[in-house]
Every structure is written in structure tokens, then in C-alpha cells.
Amino acid sequence: MVHRIGLAARLLHGGLLILLVGAVSLSLQAHEPGLSTAEGRLQHNRLELTLGFAPADVQQFLPVEFRSGERWDESDFESIREQLEVLPQSLWEVRLGAGALNPTEADVRLLPGDNVSFSIAYDLPDTGGLLILHSKRLAGLPAGHRQFVVISDSSGTIIAQALLSATNAGLEVQWPGAGAARLDDQESGAGGATTAWAFVKLGVAHIWAGLDHLLFLFALLVVCQSFRSIVAIVSCFTLAHSITLALATLDWVDLPSRFVEPAIAASIVYVGAENLWLRGKEPRGRWLLTFVFGLVHGFGFASVLRDLGVGNGAGTVWMPLLTFNLGVEIGQVIIAGAVLPLIWHLRKSRAFVLRGVPVLSSLVALAGMHWLLARTVFA
């Protein structure tokens, strides 16, 4: 019986090691799902759409011979301006009832921050009707790409918003006609609920794809010796990243990603190295360290909402902020619930504490060092 228990523990230990090695391997080549924005303004007899894309995404719309690196400078942009200027009419389909509307004006610019902006205008008839908007090129972008759409009226009031994907690439807006005083608020109801659920799913997807965040949390939990310390660690991490996620999304604190991303990598290196130094024992005051580093990770979470333009316009921030953070927490709890029982069982083995924890912590520290070098020296 003792032999069987020992064998089971070794198998569990090996399984966890293989799982972590696989996660590290995937994480070294993983990337965030693409994000883009679409801002619409309905006023008088006109719909104005402003679309924002990263250059790497715009290049998916171009023939292969015109594609270059993931970043563009002004000379790169000007060299293919002619190809870019024919894109706007193919990016969106706008229909009023059964009739298609053609763009009357279009422009493309390279904005500060390496973003490509397309401006498209459509003339609307005096009579009202149902406007059907469809983002035509999402299916051609990498899997997981999301486009956050906000439509407002002439007073700036948000009347519709949605988080589009390749499988859900359209939305509808009621156009009351040029003679109407203002548009009715369409943000509430089923459409708002659908958008909220989309942000929850985006939060879950982000924490699951953000293996740097998960490895940091894993390195914290693998040395926990009691349920109380686990609760303290998870609570401090949640509270800290929720604070900075809100501050950054609301644009109250602005910390550039060139500082945030290396700091996240450094936090992983530090925790992995501290685990090695203490030979698998739980450090004192780890909850305080978790809170401090959690503040840094919150800025990383906020980059998703900032890239989507959340917080740039009145009335669009609280729902995305709260539902995205809810999704992050749901994803975090699911991962912790799956991993913690295995860790608790393995920590009953002295061999795992003396040899397994150092091996796993070494892998975490090496992954953190890879990210740190990639985000600094080799950036």
C-alpha cells in the first residue's frame, strides 16, 4: 500500500512537471489576441466611422508583397499609402433596411503610438430605419481578434456598443431620421447584456492566454502550506490588480507598457528565485509581496481595455471594466481550483518539497527571465 501511494505521488509530481513545462513552452511563443476599435458618430444625415488597427493587423488586409514588420514608421506608411487608401470601402458594410450604403468619404492616417486609423463617412437619408453594421474583415484576422464598437449620437450619448468577433461581427442601430431630436438610448437591454457577457469572456480568455500572470500566481501558490495562506495570496493578488486595472482604465494613472511588461517579468523571476532560495518553504509576508506585484500585473490587465479605447469616452467605461475584471477573476478561480488540490497532495511528500518545488520554481524563473530579456534587451 505504501509503495502504491508513493508511486501515485511520483506520477502526480511528474504530471504537474510535464504540465508546467508545456505551459512554459507555450507561453514563450504565446501572444495576446488582436484588438481593434470602431467609433461611430450619427449626426444629421451622416454616419462617421473611425477604425483603429495595429499595423500587424492592417497588413493582413494587404497582398503579401506589401507586408513588412509589426511596426511602421512614417516612411513605411507612406510607401504603401496607395494600397491602404483602397481598403476603407472593404472594411465595413453598412445597410439601411435592405439598401446598402456606399462610403462618400474615406481617409487613412498613421497616428502616434503606431496605430493606423481609417475614417469612413456615409450619407444617410432623411427618413429613418434600421442601420445594420457589419465588420467584414474580422474573419481574415488571427483567431481571437476582437473589435470594440461604440456608436454615439450628435450629443455624444452612447446609443450602442458591442465587442465583435469573427463569429459575431455585426450590430444594429435605429436611425430615427434627420428630423428626430435625438436617438433613444439603446445601450441597455439584450444588446447591453450581450456586450457585458462578451467582456466577461474576454477577461477569462485574457487570464488563460496571459501565462505570465498564471505562472506568477502558480509560483506563489506552490509554496503555500495552509488554506489560510492561499486565501491571503489570492485575495491580495485580486485586490491589487483590481485597483490598478480600474485606475489605469479610468486614465487616472498612466504607466507605459515599456515599464509594465518588464516589471511583470521581473516579478516572476523574483518569486521563482525566492522559492529556490528558501528551498520550497513558504516565505514570511508573502501576502505583502503579492499585493505589491499584483499592482503591477493590474496595469498589464488594463492594457487590454486601453487598447480597445475603453475609458476614452463618457459612458463606456464601467460596464467593460467591471465585466472584464469579473472574467479575469472567474478564469483565475478556475485555474486555481484545478491546480491547488494537486499541489496540496504533492506537498505531503517531502521529496516534492525538497526536489519538485525547486525544479518547478526554476522553470518559472527561467520563463520570467526569457520575458524580461525579450521585453528589454531584445525588444
Cell matching residue 176: 430615427
> What mean pLDDT is reported for the chain?
82
pLDDT at position 70 is 65
* Residue 268 contacts residue 365 (beta carbons within 8 Å): yes
Q: In whole angstroms, what is the distance from residue 194 CA to residue 89 CA? A: 28
Residue written as grid cell 504607466? 255
Nearest C-alpha neighbor of 182 from the set 153, 160, 151: 153
Query: Could you tell me how far CA 366 lies from the centroid of its own chain?
Result: 24
Tell me which DSSP letter residue 110 carries.
E
DSSP per position, 144-156: T-EEEEEEE-TT-
322, 339, 359, 284 alpha-carbon torsion, rounded to 10°: 60
Strand-pair partners of 172: 132
DSSP class of 252: S
Which of 125, 116, 110 is closest to 38 using CA atoms?
Answer: 116
> Distance between alpha carbon 371 and the CA centroid of its chain, in Å?
18
Q: Helix, strand, or coil here: 162?
A: strand
In angstroms, the CA 308 to CA 145 distance is 11
pLDDT in tens, the chain (379 residues): 444 444 444 544 444 444 444 444 444 443 355 788 899 998 888 999 999 888 888 888 888 877 776 677 788 788 888 888 889 888 999 998 878 899 999 999 988 766 889 999 999 988 878 899 999 989 888 888 889 888 888 877 778 888 888 888 999 888 877 655 444 444 444 455 667 888 888 888 888 878 889 899 999 999 888 888 889 999 999 999 999 999 998 889 888 888 999 999 999 999 999 999 988 788 888 999 999 999 999 999 988 887 777 766 544 678 888 999 999 999 998 988 888 888 888 888 888 888 888 999 999 999 999 999 999 988 6
CB neighbourhood size of 11 (10 A) = 10
Amino acid at 161: Q
∠ CA 23-26-28, rounded to 5°: 110
For 265, residues 6+ apart whose C-beta sits below 8 A from its C-beta are 212, 368, 369, 371, 372, 374, 375
